[in-house]
Chain A
């Protein structure tokens, strides 16, 4: 968290991903329903930095994580890793690059192959990339298990023998196996109990300090994101609505959605009296996006401009980016 290099490790420009539902709908001009999951993202992550990506269901954060790793192909836009574009690289060209970019998944019960032993799960990538074989590989697997706080003996066991928190550690060991530079953490603690969450978060921070890792930390829990991130991007319906260092996000949020999100988080202090901003209604259907600003239908501050013009993500000073026509007026 402390070594932030100036040159970005990862850069994303105009990233777009549309999913077509395939069936014609009278709503869409093209005759098919289109889900604009990610609709023009611009951000970068510096080496050693943790960028938190926050938002609610359907905002596009998981899709963003997968796009960066080329687990999904973008509809348009640029993804640059270490200065080089990886947007259009083919399968073979991506293969060696994958050693540098790994992922930890959300669901500890679905992300480990139940038919493989733990050692096989962790060692699979080592074998595929030809990094080690036989005893050397076994040694690496044992080291990785120890790194994540598990006994090397566990290599011979199957995933179902472990608790959620332990499985998540196995997933982390797997992600570390190739000594990547960047790890996309896709809601890695959401499915875990509170006390286990704390263990896993501490582990991720320790590993980052030890190996100089860079994280894209995707989550919906603002308290968790605050703890681990350096900068935070708030997403809503496929767009970044606010992007700023963590301190200012929590002390001076500018976007109405960010403010509502922050006020919605229950705080474990019974004496705290807060004014809660309650958003009206539900998150709109991503196939039927509101015109203008995507948030206007739920925004208490909306005015006529908001219904017709989509705001751009602009620097409102000191690297604090907001996408709102009236961000500076409280």
Chain B
């Protein structure tokens, strides 16, 4: 049973941004406070998500950026309470959504939330659909469960959704199996499934990584349109900074289970502060620029079982100081809405 944290009696103060007053007036739709999800394996404990806090205002898009192993997917799964236990466990923190802490909810309670109030789209559309059921049935499943309407009514709604996500001949496609659709179409079908009960929050975990670039453009365009039409709040997880620049309002950059920088999209790109953020931006080959040599970040992302002491980034950092090897930095505000976890920043 995941129930380590006592339910708080009043909304908590996000320790990083904003005062209690501010939050009472402008309560974010989702407020994650000091989330810790650790994996207890035979080889040791992996602190996959290690004390992250962030809020997502209604109607905005948050980009979660980081490379393999930084904890971004585990964050999303933690919000949905889909982390497999064992070996994973949320050992600390709160996830406030609509005035309730999702961590305190029972599994039955979470089933009402998933697909209904919070929906998720996954990276691999082929493996996230059940191959032995038609896509129509899978879309209808959530509708029937949450809206409690008949099969035929649900079918009508599903077909309408398929049209809205731009799938041609939706009546026919309803009866197709996932393998009969192309990657782009499957992703559209997955979006239809995620939106079927009009969730307030959509979490998209690398929704376009597995797709060709022209299909990616179509999907992003679709998500943009739906976002505006339905006034949706979205968390988009990606390693593609180009997608973040186009799509997200605010960004959090993750490394080794922690947030190392958070800011508006503009500020992250125009004035990145953390050496890791700067390194990421400098290492991308740019279509719109001429670069002689890519500025690569030395070394590899550390294994969760063997994190460096002090700042987990110090052994790859170009701006490292001696103190970084022993002291773990905390998040500090460098500008309004812009926080950085780095000892080298004043």
Residues of A within 8 A of B (CB): 56-57, 163-166, 193-199, 201-202, 205, 220-224, 226-227, 250, 260-272, 276, 278-279, 281-283
A-B contacts, 28 listed (Cβ < 8 Å): A164-B68, A195-B67, A195-B280, A196-B67, A196-B300, A198-B285, A198-B294, A199-B296, A202-B294, A223-B286, A226-B285, A260-B214, A262-B287, A265-B287, A266-B217, A266-B245, A266-B246, A267-B242, A267-B287, A268-B245, A268-B284, A270-B245, A270-B270, A271-B270, A272-B245, A276-B221, A281-B168, A282-B185
Across the interface, do B215 and A268 meet the contact criterion of CB distance under 8 Å? no
What residues on B are CB-neighbors of A250 within 8 Å?
287
Bound form: Cα–Cα A57–B212 in Å: 7
Given contacts A198-B294, A269-B245, contact A278 B301 (CB under 8 A): no
What residues on A are CB-neighbors of B214 within 8 Å?
56, 260-261, 264, 279
Across the interface, do B295 and A198 meet the contact criterion of CB distance under 8 Å? yes
Given contacts A265-B213, A278-B221, contact A202 B246 (CB under 8 A): no
Across the interface, do A56 and B281 meet the contact criterion of CB distance under 8 Å? no
Across the interface, do B265 and A278 meet the contact criterion of CB distance under 8 Å? no
Bound form: Cα–Cα A223–B213 in Å: 11
Across the interface, do B213 and A198 meet the contact criterion of CB distance under 8 Å? no
**In-complex Cβ contact of B216 among A201, A264, A272, A283 (8 A):** A264
What residues on A are CB-neighbors of B301 within 8 Å?
163, 193
Bound form: Cα–Cα A22–B275 in Å: 56
Bound form: Cα–Cα A262–B214 in Å: 9
Q: Does B182 contact A (CB under 8 A)?
A: yes
Across the interface, do B245 and A261 meet the contact criterion of CB distance under 8 Å? no
What residues on B are CB-neighbors of A282 within 8 Å?
182, 184-185, 215
Q: Does B218 contact A (CB under 8 A)?
A: yes
Across the interface, do B218 and A222 meet the contact criterion of CB distance under 8 Å? no
Nearest-CB residue, chain A, relative to B66: A193
Across the interface, do B212 and A56 meet the contact criterion of CB distance under 8 Å? yes
Across the interface, do B242 and A265 meet the contact criterion of CB distance under 8 Å? yes
Bound form: Cα–Cα A193–B294 in Å: 14
What residues on B are CB-neighbors of A268 within 8 Å?
241-242, 244-245, 269, 281, 284, 286
Nearest-CB residue, chain B, relative to A205: B293
Nearest-CB residue, chain A, relative to B264: A270
What distance in Å separates the Cβ of A166 from its nearest Cβ neighbour in chain B? 7
- B252-296 residues with Cβ-Cβ distance < 8 A to A are 265-266, 269-270, 279-281, 283-288, 291, 293-296
What distance in Å separates the Cβ of B1 from its nearest Cβ neighbour in chain A? 34
What residues on A are CB-neighbors of B183 within 8 Å?
57
Bound form: Cα–Cα A262–B287 in Å: 8
Nearest-CB residue, chain A, relative to B220: A266
Bound form: Cα–Cα A268–B294 in Å: 15
- B296-335 residues with Cβ-Cβ distance < 8 A to A are 296-298, 300-301
- B167-196 residues with Cβ-Cβ distance < 8 A to A are 168, 182-185
Bound form: Cα–Cα A31–B263 in Å: 60
Across the interface, do A276 and B266 meet the contact criterion of CB distance under 8 Å? no
Given contacts A57-B212, A264-B216, contact A223 B287 (CB under 8 A): yes
What residues on A are CB-neighbors of B213 within 8 Å?
56, 220-222, 261, 264-265
Across the interface, do B285 and A224 meet the contact criterion of CB distance under 8 Å? yes
Given contacts A163-B300, A165-B300, A261-B214, contact A194 B283 (CB under 8 A): yes
Given contacts A166-B300, A193-B239, contact A269 B216 (CB under 8 A): no
What residues on B are CB-neighbors of A276 within 8 Å?
217, 221
Across the interface, do A194 and B284 meet the contact criterion of CB distance under 8 Å? yes
What distance in Å separates the Cβ of A275 from its nearest Cβ neighbour in chain B? 12
Bound form: Cα–Cα A73–B274 in Å: 51
Give the top 10 A-B pairs by smallest Cβ distance, nearest first. A266-B242, A198-B296, A198-B283, A264-B217, A56-B212, A198-B294, A193-B67, A268-B241, A227-B285, A195-B297
What residues on B are CB-neighbors of A226 within 8 Å?
285, 287
Bound form: Cα–Cα A271–B168 in Å: 34
Across the interface, do B218 and A195 meet the contact criterion of CB distance under 8 Å? no
What residues on A are CB-neighbors of B284 within 8 Å?
194, 198, 223, 268
Q: Does B243 contact A (CB under 8 A)?
A: yes
Nearest-CB residue, chain B, relative to A260: B214
Known: A199-B296, A221-B213. 14 other contacts (CB 8 A): A56-B215, A193-B68, A196-B67, A198-B283, A201-B285, A202-B294, A220-B212, A223-B287, A227-B294, A264-B217, A265-B242, A282-B185, A282-B215, A283-B182
What residues on B are CB-neighbors of A163 within 8 Å?
300-301
Q: Does B240 contact A (CB under 8 A)?
A: yes
Nearest-CB residue, chain A, relative to B301: A193
What residues on B are CB-neighbors of A205 within 8 Å?
293
Across the interface, do A269 and B269 meet the contact criterion of CB distance under 8 Å? yes
**In-complex Cβ contact of A197 among B218, B246, B283 (8 A):** B283
Bound form: Cα–Cα A272–B293 in Å: 23
What distance in Å separates the Cβ of B182 from its nearest Cβ neighbour in chain A? 5
Across the interface, do B245 and A267 meet the contact criterion of CB distance under 8 Å? yes
Interface centre among A221, A260, A283, by most B CB within 10 Å?
A283
What distance in Å separates the Cβ of A286 from its nearest Cβ neighbour in chain B? 12
Interface code B204-223, partner A: CB below 8 Å = 1, 0 otherwise?
00000000111111101100
What distance in Å separates the Cβ of A220 from its nearest Cβ neighbour in chain B? 7
Bound form: Cα–Cα A58–B96 in Å: 45
What distance in Å separates the Cβ of A69 from its nearest Cβ neighbour in chain B? 25
Bound form: Cα–Cα A227–B290 in Å: 8
Bound form: Cα–Cα A165–B297 in Å: 12
Bound form: Cα–Cα A202–B68 in Å: 20
Across the interface, do A278 and B217 meet the contact criterion of CB distance under 8 Å? yes
What residues on B are CB-neighbors of A202 within 8 Å?
293-294, 296
What residues on B are CB-neighbors of A164 within 8 Å?
68
What distance in Å separates the Cβ of B129 from its nearest Cβ neighbour in chain A? 17
Nearest-CB residue, chain B, relative to A228: B285
